[in-house]
Structure 1
Amino acid sequence: MRIVVANVNTTEAVTEAIRQQAVKVASDTTEIIAVTPDFGAGSVEGNFESYLAAVAVMDRVSRLEEPFDAVVLAGFGEHGKEGLAELFDVPVVDITEAAAHTACLIGRRYAVVTSLRRTLGQIHDRLQLTGLTGRCAALRAAEIPVLELEADEDRAATRIVEEARLAVEDDGADVILLGCAGMAGLAERVEEEVGVPVVDGVAAAVSLAEALVNQNLSTSKRAYPTPQPKPLKGWPLG
């Protein structure tokens, strides 16, 4: 099985962190293909960058020459999942949806701890689209830019733990979602400090993608019909 894991920003260090997290949870027989967009923002922290990233990710994945069995969109609250689902006949799993669905299997209410407050609106919109906002206890921001998460991991972990603890004690969350792909690798550390399950979106998405492929399930083309070929200047769609 081959799973494409697409970073939404152009920072290779983030792609590598995402790749490592994906490999950590993937089966021995699964190959992870981590890709970085050729254009876009160095970090995606709002709607402007997210819409740009959606086009960049679709462009990058559509130009892959090797076959693949599933796509994971590794951006929390990002746009583009529906477009990818229309372009390809394989499962497309968004880490936001994957994390939220996973959380609902192990607790009654979950909370998201993300990077910046600026991203909270689009995360809410993505969760609303999944129909799972009723199970969301809170959306909280650690107020740490994406590119500083790996550069200062100790500070990032401290701030995430602080917000996660508030989500549990004040908001009544049973499960914490790490609301940024750049937080890959921090779940165990946060869980030890807070004492409730912590879901990493990349890990959840890769596991769910494997499960879908193993069951021979894919995206319904009734929901996401393949677009009719149209000449798009500068973008050959593979």
Structure 2
Amino acid sequence: MRIVVTNCNTTQEMTEEIVRGARAAAGPGTTVTGLTPAWGPESAEGWLDSYLSAAAVLDTLRTYEEPYDAVVMAGFGEHGREGARELVDVPVVDITEAAAHLACLLGRRYGVVTTLERSCGQIEDSLEAAGVGRNCAAVVGTGLGVLDLDDSDRTTRAFLVAAQRARDAGAEVLVLGCAGMTGLQRVVGEKLGVPVVDGVGAAVKLAESLVSMGLMTSRAGSYAKPLVKRRDWGRPGVGRGAVS
């Protein structure tokens, strides 16, 4: 089985970390390939980054020519999953949905610990769209940017503080709210005394299950194949604004 994992940003080091987590979760016989968009934000933190990231990830999948059996979208709360389901002919599993669905099997209410507070509303909207928002007790930020997560000691400390806030809000299960946090569940799980779900691992296992059961994205309605028409995907240097 071949699973493609798409990073939502252009930082290659983060892709490599995500792939390590995905391979640790994958079963025997599953190969994992990480894809890094050639363009887009270096980290996705906010609405602008998210929409830009979604287009870049879709462009990456559109132009990737090697065969694969499933896609894992490794951007927590980021846009694009619905478009990817229209675009490709294999199951697409978003780490946000995957983590939340598994968390709902482990406790009545879950909490998400993420990076910056500015991402919390976006994650809440993503969970609502996936139909699992009602079980979310809280989405709490650590105050760390995505690119700050390479400092493991600092990340662990910040996660534990934010996790307590989620616990105080009623969370019985915790979810890692960023693909860059992959692996942290092993460090903090015992200290917190509650299950901690990693979205990358959850998405890989769900993708494997869908493929092994022969299940594909429904084409009856919402995820029907895109209409045949001309689509201009943009050219470098054309239409650039002043936002950087």
Alignment match, 1:215: 213
Q: Secondary structure at the match of 2:73?
A: strand
- Note the alpha carbon deviations across 1:17-61, whole angstroms, 9 max, x for none: 000000001012011010000100000011100000101001111
Cα offset, 1:165, TM superposition: 2.0
Counterpart amino acid of 1:193?
A: K
Counterpart amino acid of 2:191?
A: E
TM-score (norm 2): 0.94
Counterpart amino acid of 2:212?
A: N
Q: What is the aligned-residue RMSD (CA, Å)? A: 1.2
Cα offset, 1:234, TM superposition: 4.3
Alignment match, 2:239: none
Alpha-carbon contact 1:70-1:213 (below 8 Å) kept? yes
After TM superposition, the structure 1 = structure 2 runs for residues 96-175 of structure 1, keeping only pairs within 5 Å, are 96-150=96-150, 152-168=151-167, 170-175=168-173
- Note the alpha carbon deviations across 1:137-189, whole angstroms, 9 max, x for none: 11100000000101x11001110011112211x11211000000010110111
Q: Secondary structure at the match of 1:106?
A: coil
Q: Does 1:195 align with 2:154?
A: no
TM-score (norm 1): 0.96
Cα offset, 1:228, TM superposition: 2.1
CA distance in 2 between partners of 1:234 and 1:193 (Å): 47
Alignment match, 2:16: 16
CA distance in 2 between partners of 1:96 and 1:171 (Å): 20
Cα offset, 1:230, TM superposition: 2.0
Counterpart amino acid of 1:121?
A: G
Q: Secondary structure at the match of 2:71?
A: strand
Greater than 6 Å deviation, 4+ residue runs: none
Among the aligned pairs, what percent are the same residue?
53
Gaps of 5+ in 2: 236-244
Cα offset, 1:235, TM superposition: 6.1
CA distance in 1 between partners of 2:23 and 2:63 (Å): 22
Q: Does 1:49 align with 2:49?
A: yes
**TM-aligned CA distance change 1:57 to 1:232, over 3 Å:** same
- Note the alpha carbon deviations across 1:89-145, whole angstroms, 9 max, x for none: 211000000000000011111000000001011101100011211111111000000
**TM-aligned CA distance change 1:234 to 1:101, over 3 Å:** closer
Alpha-carbon contact 1:96-1:127 (below 8 Å) kept? yes
CA distance in 1 between partners of 2:142 and 2:133 (Å): 20
CA distance in 1 between partners of 2:25 and 2:82 (Å): 25
Alpha-carbon contact 1:59-1:235 (below 8 Å) kept? no
Cα offset, 1:233, TM superposition: 2.6
Gaps of 5+ in 1: none
After TM superposition, the structure 1 = structure 2 runs for residues 50-69 of structure 1, keeping only pairs within 5 Å, are 50-69=50-69
Alignment match, 1:94: 94
Alpha-carbon contact 1:111-1:139 (below 8 Å) kept? yes
Alignment match, 2:242: none
Equivalent pairs counted in the alignment come to: 234
CA distance in 1 between partners of 2:91 and 2:25 (Å): 18
CA distance in 2 between partners of 1:125 and 1:134 (Å): 11
